[in-house]
Amino acid sequence: MDVRWERVGERAVLTDEGRLKATARGWHLLVVQMAGEAGDAAVFAVENRCSHATARLDGGEIDGCHIVCPLHGARFDIRDGTCAGPPASQPIRSFPARINGEDVEVAVPEKPPMAKPKFGVFN
Ligand code: FES
């Protein structure tokens, strides 16, 4: 799979706001900075889309290592995308993230094209 590191924003914005939304290679991303296990800052990236009804997650409350979907309240672990609370039951995609100098970078594959609908007016 063709995965590559993409610059998605400035470190200063992430440090100031604790989160950063971005797009890279067709993915809508949410990057979050949290305290790591050693007390240092760690950076994580997930797809900015709830697995329940595809709401964007960037406006959701961050509660510990979880982000809470602002639409119906599903919870996801920001570190790996695991679903941690209903009504969602599926995880969200997570991506490797890092700070590189003054840049925030996320390793993303090329997003596969959306499948055409089988029926309807978009053929
Ligand atoms: S869209 Fe996120 S919980 Fe429903």
Per-residue confidence band for 123, with pLDDT thresholds at 50, 70 and 90: very low
Contact predicate 73/60, CB 8 Å: no
Mutate to test the pocket of ligand 1, among 51, 69, 75, 90 (most ligand atoms within 8 A of CB): 69
Please tell me the distance between residue 53's alpha carbon and the centre of ligand 1 in angstroms.
Answer: 5
Does the Cβ of 88 fall within 6 Å of ligand 1? yes
**pLDDT tens-place string over residues 85-98:** 999 999 999 999 99
**pLDDT tens-place string over residues 39-63:** 677 999 999 999 999 999 999 999 9
Q: Which among 65, 91, 92 has a CA at the least distance from the CA of 79? A: 65
pTM of the predicted protein model: 0.87
Between 110 and 55, residue with greater pLDDT:
55
Does the Cβ of 86 fall within 6 Å of ligand 1? no
Q: Which domains does the chain have, with CATH numbers?
A: 3-109 (2.102.10.10)
